[in-house]
A and B are shown apart, each in its own frame.
Chain A
Amino acid sequence: MNPLHVRVTRVTTLTPVVKEYLLCSDCGNLPAFSAGSHVRVTIPDGNATITNAYSLSAATDPTTGAPAYRIAVRLQPDSRGGSRALHQQVRAGDVLRISPPANLFPLHSQARHHLLVAGGIGITPFLAYADALEATGASFTLHYAGRPGQTDAYAGALRERLGERFHGYSGAPGDRLDVPTLLAGQRAGTHVYTCGPASLIDGVAAAARALGWPASSVHAEAFAAAKPGAPFRVELRRSGTAIDVPSSRSLLEALEQAGIAVPNLCRGGVCGQCALPYAGGDVEHRDHFLAPGDRLQFLMPCVSRGCGTPIFLDL
């Protein structure tokens, strides 16, 4: 799959922890994309690279109207360094390598009403959703929980653009998003989409289940960058070598850096593409894809890690 090369044309500080990057094509056209799509950005980190996925929030430069990709990056306090490297090192004029867009969080074609629930930086795919839903005249409302001035990027612009369809929650007492009440007030035929921290996603899923919502009407953007962990070793049976995976790298990244290409897509433990068979070793499974039985034989190197004796891979 051929990566795209994009030039950063503008970096805008939206809040002390959120920066927006406008990316234009360095050669040729930027492919069109469907709302909910993300790109995987390869971030230089010293001599190595980190790859993180970011939702595409828009398809044009808001000031010029020219084709562009817009992403927003929240500085993650406990990240492996990808967001920190972006915030601290990437400037306008830099060229980045990104994957073509892929979509694991598409709109559903049969919903009568779309209920969008965003937490913090989870707002980004919903900016693209708002464009798509307005273009077709579809019915939707957006509920956005974010700390004012910190994790409520775009709230002002959205309030102005969407009017009654927008509800913001600062998190202060009396101004908190009450998920069960929100869901209980919806009409049949509504689909709910959540993007944000796991606690928000889980909360919406639990409330929807308790209220008898059909599972097919509950959607979430579940991918998240791999959390850090202890370093661990993997033994590669076929090549007879071993790789030590540092805390700041995922197993997938370490394999790629060693020149071993593993098919992959979401890099966040949900799509199943990078599943590898393993024989022996202690694995901490962090994915959302494998069934418990499958975990005895397979692991997802994009998020899962070793946590004891070395893992044996048939590579």
Chain B
Amino acid sequence: MTARSPALETFRDDFTYRNSPAAIARFPFPFPEDRYMYSVNIEPATRKAHGSVFANWFDIDEHYAGEMAERDQALRNDPRRALVMPHMATAAWDALELYMETLSADYPEHFTLTRDGDRWHWQNRLLGTAHDFVFGQAGTLPCDPLEFIARQVQGDIALLDQRDGDLFMDAGVVTGPADWSLAFDAGMSFKQWHAPVPMAHELGVFDRALKYLLNIRSSEPVRRLNWTLTINPRLDTSPETYHLWGADRASVTPENAGRKVHLRVELQMMVRLPRSNALLFSIRTYLASMEELVTRPGWGQRLHRVLRDLPAPIVEYKGMANYREALLAWLAPYDPV
């Protein structure tokens, strides 16, 4: 990889990441109501208005270059963030094919895929790279196919093996998780890796979600939104690096909350992979500070109400117990009673 250009925004250390007004306008705000509760909020991934985050299956935005550099850094620091169990090799190639076909069709200005049987040529003009390789032949790419394509798309990727009426997390590239470890969770079933989530199990959310996901067909991907809060625009909020970011939660005051506290929204896409029958789970993360979000009409008020009335177990699980009061103090003026 080329050395990082000094102009690239950062998601760690000095946190130079910022959103343009256009990025804020298209931010996937996850709260349709003043109250939030877990539900099976899965819907078909129909392509929405041109320019929205839902227009394409895999969204490329203004943060692409910075995120690719961040991923490269994370993988250098910890190669265990990429894992493909031997039986997932076909699924990894499936994922590469899906991303290359979709990105070259949706962003022809950035990506070109040309194929002559198994001999593929892939050009990424955003990164200034080109590769010739043989599809399905390990060794003709500089690294595992899943890692290869993950280094060129925004968002984490997990590949799930479908067997025994369940889904198993048997492969992934996860450099920007919301406090979960691929190295620890690898091999777990659907409900096992969701074990730490409070309340949702008792509500039957995971039983219904699993049934739905098992029946997803190749031509019909689905999506849902998930959210949490992060202090500073930090992508790598993994348990592995918790000792680096955990203390940030104690640094929030009513004065700096607007700048420091970020809404972290995951746009999750679930797609059936054709050759392996595996499920691809893409986790596209969007970050915006409270200051940025309240520039949109109604969002300040909605954020205040949702966070004020959030059930205690969810407050605890999403790690905001230490600073919620300071944040609510900062948001209060946007919700005049």
- Do A and B interact directly, with beta carbons closer than 8 Å? yes
* Interface status of B30 (Cβ within 8 A of chain A): no
Classify chain A: how many residues form its interface, as a range.
20 to 34
A1 within 8 A of B: yes
- Interchain CB contact under 8 A, A34 and B277: yes
Q: Is A216's CB under 8 angstroms from B164's CB? A: yes
A109-B163, A110-B87, A216-B164 given; A34·B275 CB < 8 A: yes
Smallest Cβ distance from B151 to chain A, in angstroms? 24
- How far is A2 from B97 in the complex, measured between Cα atoms in Å? 20
Which residues of B have CB within 8 Å of A108?
163
Determine the distance from Cα of A101 to Cα of B215 in the docked complex, in whole angstroms: 13
SS class, residues of chain A in contact with chain B:
loop
A228 at interface by CB-CB < 8 Å: no
Encoded as 1 (CB less than 8 Å from any A CB) or 0, chain B from 268 to 312 comes to: 000000111100000000000000000000000000000000000
Q: Are A1 and B219 in contact (CB under 8 A)?
A: yes
List B65-117 residues whose CB lies under 8 Å from chain A. Answer: 87, 90, 94, 97
B87 contacts A1, C-beta separation under 8 Å: no
How many A-B contacts at CB < 8 Å in the complex? Answer: 45
Report B-chain residues with C-beta under 8 Å of the C-beta of A106.
162-163, 277
Least CB distance, B169 to chain A, in whole angstroms: 13
Q: Tell whether A149 is near chain B: CB-to-CB under 8 Å.
A: no
Measured in the bound complex, the distance between the Cα atoms of B94 and A272 in whole Å is 27
Question: Which applies to chain B's interface (DSSP): helix, strand, loop or mixed?
Answer: loop
Instruction: Tell me, rounded to whole Å, the shortest Cβ–Cβ distance linking A82 to chain B.
Output: 22
Closest to B219 in A: A100
A171 within 8 A of B: no
B161, B274, B275: the one contacting A109 at CB < 8 Å is B161
Q: Is residue A184 contacting chain B, with contact meaning CB distance below 8 A?
A: no
Whose C-beta in chain B lies nearest to the C-beta of A59?
B275
Which residues from chain B contact A136 at a C-beta distance below 8 Å?
90
- Whether A1 contacts B217 by the Cβ 8 Å rule is yes
A57 to chain B, nearest CB (A): 16
Residues of A within 8 A of B164 (CB): 216
- In the complex the two chains form, what is the Cα distance from A109 to B171 in whole Å? 13
Q: A31-B274, A103-B277 are in contact. Are A265 and B217 (CB under 8 A)?
A: yes
How far in angstroms is the closest Cβ of chain A from B89?
A: 8
Q: In whole angstroms, how far apart are the Cα atoms of A33 and B94 in the complex?
A: 10
Q: A32 touching B275 by the CB < 8 A rule?
A: yes
Query: Chain B nearest CB: distance from A27 CB in Å?
Result: 15
Q: In the bound complex, do residue A33 and residue B219 qualify as a contact, i.e. CB atoms below 8 Å apart?
A: no
Question: Is A273's beta carbon under 8 Å from chain B?
Answer: yes
Bound form: Cα–Cα A264–B217 in Å? 11
Q: Does A271 interact with chain B (Cβ within 8 Å)?
A: yes
Give A241 Cβ to nearest chain B Cβ, in Å.
29
Contacts of A1 in B (CB 8 A): 217, 219-220
In whole angstroms, how far apart are the Cα atoms of A216 and B274 in the complex? Answer: 23
Report the separation of the CA atoms of residues A273 and B277 in the bound assembly, to the nearest whole angstrom: 18
- Footprint of B on A, CB under 8 Å? 1-2, 31-34, 36-37, 100-103, 106, 108-110, 136, 216, 265, 271-273
Q: List 14 A-B contacts (CB under 8 A).
A: A2-B219, A31-B218, A32-B97, A32-B274, A34-B276, A36-B277, A100-B219, A109-B87, A109-B170, A110-B87, A110-B163, A216-B164, A265-B215, A272-B215
